[in-house]
Structure formats: C-alpha cells, structure tokens
Amino acid sequence: MDLEIRRRRQEYLDRKEKLPADLDALLKSKQLTVLWKADTSWHELVLVTEGDEMRLSLDGQLLAHHRSEGFAHPMKRWFSFLTPSTVWIDDVKIWKIK
C-alpha cells in the first residue's frame, strides 16, 4: 500500500468529490476484476504471488494475471477475498515456496 496514494485518495473521499482523472487511472491500473458465473460446484482456486506478479487459476485454468510493485513487497501477512456476493471457502492451504 502506498500511503501517499491513500492520503491523496482519502482527501477526495472525505469531500465526496470525484477523483481527478490521473489518480483514477492510476488506481484502475492497480486492480483487476475477473468475472465468473456463479454455480453450486466446488472448485480449486490457486493464487500464486511471484515477485511483482499475481496469477489466479481455477480448476487448473489460468484466469488472470496482474503485475503490481506492491506484490513484490517482502512482507506478506494479509490477503482477503473481495466478492460481490456470498462464497463458501473450505480447506484453505498456504505455502511459501522459496
């Protein structure tokens, strides 16, 4: 997280103003949305962070990859799943591969 970007963005949010075009474009370059049609089947989701790249695979098929300098941060203690609806997550495993 870049605290300077966060501070700059927060000023506009506090005033309930639209973000300037350059800041909006910068923030959009740091996010990726993957659309997936909901179903009731169980799937295997694999998320790999390697250097500044993150890759997302579902049932062995690469769905998305995204690069951001923040992914290369040496200390990774937190991640979250942001979903627009309810999901069930079971059997989570985390590995650190050197």
* Domain extents in the chain: 1-31, 34-98
What is the pLDDT at residue 16? 95
What is the pLDDT at residue 74? 76
What does each of the 98 residues of the chain score in pLDDT, given as a tens digit?
678 999 999 999 999 999 999 999 998 888 888 887 878 889 998 989 888 898 999 999 999 998 888 788 777 677 777 777 777 888 888 887 77
For residue 68, give the nearest of 94, 32, 33, 22 by alpha carbon.
32
Classify residue 74 by burial, with Cβ atoms within 10 Å: 0-12, 13-18, 19+. exposed
Q: What's the pTM value of the predicted model, to 2 decimals?
A: 0.67
